[in-house]
Chain A
Amino acid sequence: MAKKDSHYISAKDMRAIAKENRRITRAFEKKKARKNIPESEYLSEMKDENNIVEFDDLKTYFYTDVGTVKAVDGVTFSVPQGTVVGVVGESGCGKSVTSLSLMQLVQGPSGQISGGEIRFKASDGKTYNIAQMPTNVMNRLRGKEIAMIFQEPMTSLNPIFKIGQQLDEVVLLHEAGATAERAKARSIEMLGLVGISDPERIYGQYPHELSGGMRQRVMIAMALSCEPRLIVADEPTTALDVTIQAQILDLFRNIREKINGSIMLITHDLGVIAEMADYVVVMYAGRVIEQGTAEEIFKNPMHPYTVGLQKSKPVVNQKVDRLYSIPGSVPNPVDMPTYCYFRDRCERACEACAGEYPEMYQVSPTHKVACHLWDSKKKEGNE
Chain B
Amino acid sequence: MLKYIIKRLMLSVLILFGVSLIIYVLVRIQPGENFVRSKYAMQLAQDNTGEIEKQVQAMEATYGLDVTPIAGYWRWLGNVLQGDWGNSFIFSVDSGKKELYYTYTDAGGQTQTVQYYDESEVPEGATTFEKPIATSSVIYIIYSKSGISFLISLIATIFEFLIAIPLGVISATKQYGVLDYTVTVIAMMGISLPTFFLGALMLKFFSIELGWFPYAGLTDPNSGLPTFVDNLWHLVLPLTTLVILSIGGLMRYTRTNMLEVLNADYIRTARAKGLSEHAVIYKHAFRNSLIPIVTMLAGILPSLFGGAMITETVFSIDGIGKAAYKAVTQRDIPFIMAYNMFLSALTVIGTLCSDLMYAVVDPRVKIGD
Contacts and interface: CB of A to CB of B under 8 A. Distances in A.
A and B: interacting chains: yes
Interface of A: 22, 103, 105, 107, 109, 135-136, 139-144, 147-148, 150, 152, 155-161, 169-170, 173-174, 206, 208, 219, 222
A143 B274 contact: yes
A109 B173 CA distance: 11
Given A105-B268, A109-B176, A158 B274 contact: no
Interface string B192-218: 000000000000000000000000000
Contacts of B270: 158
A141 B272 CA distance: 9
Contacts of B269: 150, 156-158, 219, 222
A36 to B, nearest CB: 15
A178 to B, nearest CB: 13
Contacts of A170: 273-274
B29 interface: no
Contact of B272 (A103, A136, A160): A103
B340 to A, nearest CB: 37
Interface on chain B toward A: helix, strand, loop, or mixed SS?
helix
Contacts of A150: 265, 268-269, 272
A140 B274 CA distance: 6
B364 interface: yes
Interface in B232-287: 263-266, 268-277, 284, 287
Contact of B274 (A22, A107, A109, A142): A142
B274 A222 contact: no
A206 B362 CA distance: 10
A173 B361 contact: no
B363 interface: yes
B88 to A, nearest CB: 48
A126 B270 CA distance: 25
Contact of A169 (B268, B275, B287, B291): B275
A160 B361 contact: yes
A158 B288 contact: yes
B272 A105 contact: yes
A257 B263 CA distance: 35
B140 to A, nearest CB: 46
B363 A222 contact: no
Given A105-B268, A150-B268, A159 B273 contact: no
Contacts of B276: 136, 139
A160 B271 contact: no
B266 A156 contact: yes
Q: Which 4 A-B pairs have the closest CB atoms?
A: A143-B274, A142-B274, A155-B265, A143-B273
Contacts of A157: 266, 269
B275 A105 contact: no
Given A105-B272, A142-B271, A156 B265 contact: yes
Chain B: interface residue count, which band?
Answer: 20 to 34
A238 B246 CA distance: 45
Contacts of A147: 272
27 contacts: A103-B271, A105-B271, A105-B272, A109-B176, A135-B277, A139-B274, A142-B271, A142-B272, A142-B273, A142-B274, A143-B272, A143-B273, A155-B265, A156-B265, A156-B269, A158-B284, A159-B288, A159-B362, A159-B363, A159-B364, A170-B273, A170-B274, A173-B275, A174-B274, A206-B363, A208-B363, A219-B269
A239 to B, nearest CB: 11
Contacts, number: 72
A281 B9 CA distance: 63
Contacts of B361: 160
| Residue among B264, B266, B275 with max Cβ neighbours from chain A (10 Å) | B266
Given A141-B274, A160-B363, A222-B269, 10 more contacts: A109-B176, A139-B275, A140-B274, A150-B272, A157-B269, A158-B266, A158-B284, A160-B361, A160-B362, A170-B273
Interface in B273-323: 273-277, 284, 287-288, 291
| Residue among A141, A147, A158, A206 with max Cβ neighbours from chain B (10 Å) | A158
A152 B269 CA distance: 11
A66 B274 CA distance: 33
Contacts of A158: 266, 269-270, 284, 288
A160 B287 CA distance: 8
Nearest to A29: B177
Interface in B342-369: 361-364
Given A160-B361, A206-B363, A208-B363, A173 B273 contact: yes
| Residue among B273, B287, B291, B362 with max Cβ neighbours from chain A (10 Å) | B273
Contacts of B291: 160
Contacts of A160: 287-288, 291, 361-363
A152 B272 contact: no
Contacts of B363: 159-160, 206, 208
Nearest to A104: B271
A235 B275 CA distance: 23
Nearest to B262: A107
B277 to A, nearest CB: 7
Nearest to B291: A160
A270 B185 CA distance: 51
Nearest to A139: B274
A303 to B, nearest CB: 32
A169 B270 CA distance: 9
B288 to A, nearest CB: 6
Nearest to A219: B269
Given A158-B284, A208-B364, A152 B265 contact: yes
A184 to B, nearest CB: 17
Contacts of B264: 155
A143 B363 CA distance: 26
B233 to A, nearest CB: 43
B267 to A, nearest CB: 8
A170 B279 CA distance: 12
Contacts of A142: 271-274
Given A139-B276, A169-B273, A206 B364 contact: yes
A63 B139 CA distance: 63
| Residue among A139, A140, A148, A219 with max Cβ neighbours from chain B (10 Å) | A139
Contacts of A156: 265-266, 268-269
| Residue among A140, A141, A161, A222 with max Cβ neighbours from chain B (10 Å) | A161
Nearest to B276: A139
A110 to B, nearest CB: 10
A258 to B, nearest CB: 21
Contact of A144 (B268, B274, B288): B274
A159 B365 CA distance: 11
Contacts of B288: 158-160
A155 B261 CA distance: 11
A135 B265 CA distance: 19
A155 B272 contact: no
